[in-house]
Amino acid sequence: MENHHEWIIQTNQLSRNFGKVSAVNRINLEVPAGSVYGFLGPNGAGKTTTIRMLLGLIHPTFGSIKMFGHDLEPQNWQYLKQIGTMVESPSLYPNLTGRENMEVTRRLIGLPKSNIDMALDNVNMLQAANRLVKEYSMGMRQRLGLALALINQPTLLILDEPTNGLDPAGIQEMRDMIRELPKKNGVTVFLSSHLLSEVEQTASHIGIIHEGHMLFQGSLENLRSERNPILHLGSDHPERAAELLKQSGWKVRQNGKPGLLVEVNGNSDVAFINRKLNQANINVFQLTVQQPSLEDTFLQLTTIKK
């Protein structure tokens, strides 16, 4: 653990309930300056709720937030000067052109005109800027949304599922843009996604949230080293095998195929499992140990049933 870090975002026991639903439960985010922080979790994990609290759009039920080292207080909006956001979907007026949409924000926060072209250029939208937004494709809207987030030259960019609704080429393009940002202007990026594969090429740090709880937080390397190998097990009675292994405390997942995936610690575990199944008259015909992909790790973490 590095002993000194400048956290751009730091939360302490941050929680938010909606009635009885605990959407975010005592999470301690630590987002280092200059990082691309991938905030991961399946649908309903609490990502958007967390982001809304960071932006002051909703209040925490419990816990506190530090942005740029200062405690967040209600009605204080000064810290937002350094932030650019896109939450869930871009916020655009369809009756205006792309450029006019930028102009609305420019007027609101009183920026020089040159910021508009700079931001549009950053997302390759200069060409289409004079067309009406209602004629835009999903990808163009998403890019204009990103331009709106960049208009004030923020030092922290908070993006909630920025690749929502994009095609594979669009996703790749968005990824490249996000990856370039910290290098170009020293921007810290906090972005949420429900796919690890989507951020593993961009992110330097990862936080995994599931049902409001933080399951993992650290660098990508940490996540890589933290996982157990996976045993791919083929047998003639997969259901019985699964039952048996679960009873003795192994983490077993069905793989869609008749095969099973078992989380193991090493080869001795594999030999042990083989022996156990043979004793129960189950014929084993495949035993392969694999380092899981990051996606597997993510699934492992987020499919644990209580």
Partner 1 sequence: MIYFFRALSAEQLKLKRSLAMWMVLIAPLAVCFLYLMIMLKTPESYYGPSAWEGEIKSILSMWSVMMLPLYITLETALTANSEHNNQIWKYLYALPIPRWSIFSAKWVMNLFLVLSSSVVCFILTIGAGIVMRYVFPETGFVHNFPWTYALTVNGKVFLASLFIISIHTWISLNWKNIIIAIGSGMVAAVGNLTIMMSEKWGAIFPWTLPFYAYAVEDVNLIQIYAIALGGSLLFAIFGSFWLSKKQIF
Question: From the list partner 1, ligand ATP, Mg ion, none, which binds 142 (C-beta under 5 to 8 Å, kind-based)?
Answer: none
Q: Which of 38, 46, 182, 207 binds ligand ATP (CB under 6 A)?
A: 46
Q: Which is nearer to partner 1, 156 or 277 (CB)?
A: 156
Residue keyed to tokens 């209600």: 74
Find, among 214, 301, 187, the residue nearest to 204 by Cα.
187
Q: Which listed range, 27-35, 47-55, 144-152, 200-208, lies at the site for Mg ion (CB under 5 A)? A: 47-55
Site for ligand ATP in 193-252 (CB under 6 A): 194
Q: Which is nearer to partner 1, 52 or 210 (CB)?
A: 52
Contact between residue 297 and residue 218 where contact means Cβ atoms under 8 Å apart: no
Interaction of residue 48 with Mg ion, rule CB under 5 A: yes
Q: Which is nearer to Mg ion, 87 or 244 (CB)?
A: 87
Q: Which of 49, 101, 297, 300 binds ligand ATP (CB under 6 A)?
A: 49
Find, among 173, 220, 227, the residue nearest to 196 by Cα.
220
Minimum distance, C-beta of residue 46 to ligand ATP, in the bound complex (Å): 4
Site for partner 1 in 96-115 (CB under 8 A): 96, 100, 103-105, 107-110
CA 95 from centroid of its chain's CA atoms: 32
Find, among 280, 273, 292, the residue nearest to 229 by Cα.
292
Site for partner 1 in 221-280 (CB under 8 A): none
Q: How many residues bind ligand ATP (CB under 6 A)?
A: 12
Interaction of residue 11 with partner 1, rule CB under 8 A: no
Q: Which is nearer to partner 1, 96 or 287 (CB)?
A: 96
Q: Which of 34, 66, 68, 80 binds partner 1 (CB under 8 A)?
A: 80
Q: Which of 25, 29, 35, 41 binds ligand ATP (CB under 6 A)?
A: 41
Question: From the list Mg ion, ligand ATP, partner 1, none, which binds 75 (C-beta under 5 to 8 Å, kind-based)?
Answer: partner 1
Interaction of residue 85 with partner 1, rule CB under 8 A: yes
Interaction of residue 57 with ligand ATP, rule CB under 6 A: no
Question: From the list ligand ATP, Mg ion, partner 1, none, which binds 85 (C-beta under 5 to 8 Å, kind-based)?
Answer: partner 1
Interaction of residue 23 with ligand ATP, rule CB under 6 A: yes
CA 228 from centroid of its chain's CA atoms: 22
Site for ligand ATP in 104-133 (CB under 6 A): none
Distance of alpha carbon 133 from alpha carbon 96, whole angstroms? 6
Residues forming the site for partner 1 (CB under 8 A): 52, 55-59, 75, 77-81, 83, 85-89, 91-96, 100, 103-105, 107-110, 132, 148, 152
